[in-house]
Chains A and B, each alone.
Chain A
């Protein structure tokens, strides 16, 4: 049988956090048992979201090994309730870039794309310090003809060809994304380079011509000098502002989930990796310099930081420590009932759902999401700083206790809700909470009537004060609907609109007997607030104030008559 690579895809219908750990443990064990065979690679990817498992085997007899792994895995998991269903087993024709290669490709693209812009844009070039500018101008003068011929986005490709010294052309074209980020047609770019004589096609392999090789060697040196300049100069001497093109705003994870880019998070990771603060600050300040787009992948970001660290510290201690910090999250486990669960957002969600079941007031979805993120960050940050110590101790997992997570969750939910404090005082008694929180209704109604009159007379009204009352009314009605409000007026308004619809259909248990007329008003009000608060500069609307005054009056009367 021919040596090669085979892949097996499987679905695990009942895969959850707990079973995932079990599956991985078994796979590790099987790998150890099979180590004596001629296996070059045995790796797996477990996708919790899609409940899928991929096993990749490179061996002298890959299919045989794969089937052995599959058979052993199914047999070991038999009786545990975990099903493993084969989707397909197939010979792999090609595996894309993985791990280090992928990170290397990304970092190289980022650096060379930046350099391309500096070379071609005079404005950027003029911002370089004199010594570096002169150095770059000498390179440009020596290779002017070739530089003028280079189409946009060709620098990263040139760097790759320089490093590899002859790459099959299909490999280059198939890796299009990693050179141009899909900004241009790579095939066309390659053809232009061949036609211009910058690249030479020999035996289906692509090479750089001698001139281009020289150019990239010089550029490589220039990048090192430039990085050295920005990473070792005293911070106040580096005019990074001048280079900033566009800051990254969104960070995309492998799963497609996104989070807001935060330089502080990067700094935190660097700090946790024991990178001196001054170096960390320089790295964080340098990131916007190299990131072109407003959306960046977490992998790109990590590759960039890792490469910058490697530039500062050739021994690699910073970069490997940073890499370890980045993978801390994967090492966080929750020990429960003798089993280990990966600490993830979905684990926290499962804990929240359990807590919510026991709560007489159900938290608004926005409150759940905000609490989930906070708790996740609390633990991530807490243990991230402990990572280098754990690295020394060679601990495989960092174990968390579920009761600690629950107790932080409860605190976070309560502190994030605008009625959290009252809730603690009233001991979760919904009617009591409503009574205490509702005490302000007279004052709010009076205020709104005054505002209404003031608006009629054309007087000044503070929009923030009105919005604060709107927030209060929304939260009060949410409490009437047995919902624990969250911290965002927009999210609460949106949820309220949904709940009113349910109440009108009689699908909701509510604490006050609200008339249909009032429910209609509330629905209209919630929608109005929702669209109003979605704009950056909300303008006060007399109709809204009048509506609020009527709702306040309805609520006051209903509460008094109860």
Chain B
């Protein structure tokens, strides 16, 4: 194992422990997307290394980031994975939700409402007179499961189910229904999504309910999972390119030896700390990235 003690702006330290953990002990909190999983399985079949560790809560062993990597390795018969263990309840780890944006919809809020009304009981239509902020706040304070804001100013809401996982299952159902109407879906942070609607670059935005760390842990530990693209975690620091040989994750050596190899290997590498908020294979929102060369 290898410890990164990262100094935060307030002078405190944020600890990341890179360790070899048993896959069967991890709990996922989000469903995987079949196409992404297949792609990763085929990639791991050809690869000899695990490039990046998955991010895991050290106390509950809930996977915060890396569901697909965990599932792909499990499917390929691997027993272990390298995880960056963090204290999820540390205030510097933020959890956000993804807002959905829709383009190529070509339908008004009212038309969508009439379609949805046939299927859902608690769906409500709000004409353009109702302020968008009111809808957004309604979702945020738990009154609604979700809110759909349309470019014409109208909106649709569904009453909250009282359970965060059910609310998100509803979000997922809505996503599919709206996509079935021919719309293309996008996933953005709250501000970006609302800005896009304001600018008219998208036709509708789906406002999703906020998430609490405790809800995520409870759901995952109970063996349930949120639909894909539910959570968005921002961790102060992320280790990248550890390039750990996959062969040690397949029970060829004991966990103890695999952990020692990880520690010795990483301590022989050059660690370069760079500013985050950069796009590599995707956008890394973290403040800092620790790259092992």
Contacts and interface: CB of A to CB of B under 8 A. Distances in A.
Contact of B264 (A95, A173, A186, A295): A295
B272 A177 contact: no
B118 interface: no
A314 B273 CA distance: 36
A299 B278 CA distance: 32
Given A252-B265, A256-B245, A176 B273 contact: no
Interface string B258-285: 0011111111111111110011110000
Contact of B268 (A47, A295, A298): A298
B13 A187 contact: yes
A95 B269 contact: no
Given A54-B293, A173-B7, A256-B245, A93 B263 contact: no
A88 interface: yes
A170 B288 CA distance: 15
Contacts of B269: 96, 254
B264 A49 contact: no
B49 interface: yes
A87 interface: yes
Contacts of A93: 273-275, 288
Nearest to B278: A88
A45 B15 CA distance: 27
Contacts of B245: 255-257
B265 A256 contact: yes
B271 A250 contact: no
Per DSSP, are chain A's interface residues mostly helix, strand or loop, or mixed?
Answer: mixed
B270 A98 contact: yes
Contacts of A50: 49, 51, 241, 243
B5 A250 contact: no
B257 interface: yes
B83 to A, nearest CB: 15
A258 interface: yes
Given A173-B5, A176-B5, A177-B263, A95 B272 contact: yes
Nearest to A300: B264
Contacts of A47: 243, 293
A293 interface: yes
B96 interface: no
A94 B4 CA distance: 13
Contacts of B51: 50
Contacts of B48: 49
A181 interface: yes
A182 B273 contact: no
Contact of A170 (B7, B15, B270, B279): B7
Chain A interface category by residue count: 35 or more
B78 interface: no
Nearest to B260: A295
A56 interface: yes
A45 B291 CA distance: 12
Contacts, number: 123
B261 A258 contact: yes
A353 to B, nearest CB: 15
Nearest to A50: B243
B272 A297 contact: no
A181 B263 contact: yes
Nearest to A204: B11
A292 B13 CA distance: 29
Nearest to B6: A174
Interface in A249-306: 250, 252-258, 293-300
A94 B278 CA distance: 17
A92 B1 CA distance: 25
A50 B293 CA distance: 10
Contacts of A87: 280-281
A254 B268 contact: yes
A90 B51 CA distance: 19
Interface string A3-27: 0000101000000000000000000
B16 to A, nearest CB: 11
B2 A182 contact: yes
Contacts of B260: 250, 252, 293-295
A29 B232 CA distance: 45
B265 A90 contact: no
B226 interface: no
Contact of A186 (B5, B261, B266, B293): B5
Query: Taking each of A52, A87, A186, A295, which has the highest tally of chain B beta carbons within 10 Å of its own beta carbon?
Result: A295
Nearest to A251: B264
Which residue among B5, B15, B264, B273 has the maximum number of chain A CB atoms within 10 Å of its CB? B264
A372 to B, nearest CB: 15
Contacts of A90: 274-275, 278, 289
B244 interface: yes
Nearest to A109: B267
Contacts of A92: 272-274
A525 interface: no
B49 A49 contact: yes
Contacts of B3: 176-177, 182, 186
A171 to B, nearest CB: 9
Nearest to B240: A9
A178 interface: yes
A470 B92 CA distance: 61
A224 interface: no
A64 interface: no
Contacts of B241: 50, 52
Contacts of B289: 90
Contacts of A54: 272, 291, 293
Contact of A177 (B2, B243, B280): B2
B144 interface: no
Interface in A57-116: 87-88, 90-96, 98, 102, 106
B150 interface: no
A255 B265 contact: yes
B99 interface: no
Contact of A297 (B6, B13, B243, B265): B265
Give the residue among A56, A94, A252 with the most B Cβ atoms within 10 A.
Answer: A252
Which one of A45, A186, A254, A256 has the highest number of Cβ atoms from chain B below 10 Å of its Cβ?
A256
A445 B134 CA distance: 88
B88 interface: no
A91 B287 CA distance: 13
Which of B244, B262, B268, B278 has the most CB atoms of chain A within a 10 A radius of its CB? B268
10 interchain residue pairs of minimum CB distance: A96-B271, A297-B264, A295-B260, A252-B264, A90-B274, A94-B273, A299-B268, A256-B265, A256-B245, A170-B7
Given A90-B278, A186-B3, 9 more contacts: A7-B274, A54-B272, A92-B272, A92-B274, A93-B273, A93-B275, A106-B267, A178-B267, A186-B5
17 contacts: A7-B291, A9-B291, A93-B275, A94-B273, A95-B270, A96-B272, A96-B273, A102-B268, A174-B4, A177-B3, A181-B267, A182-B1, A182-B2, A186-B3, A252-B260, A298-B268, A299-B268
Interface of A: 7, 9, 45, 47, 49-50, 52, 54, 56, 87-88, 90-96, 98, 102, 106, 170, 173-174, 176-178, 181-182, 186-187, 250, 252-258, 293-300
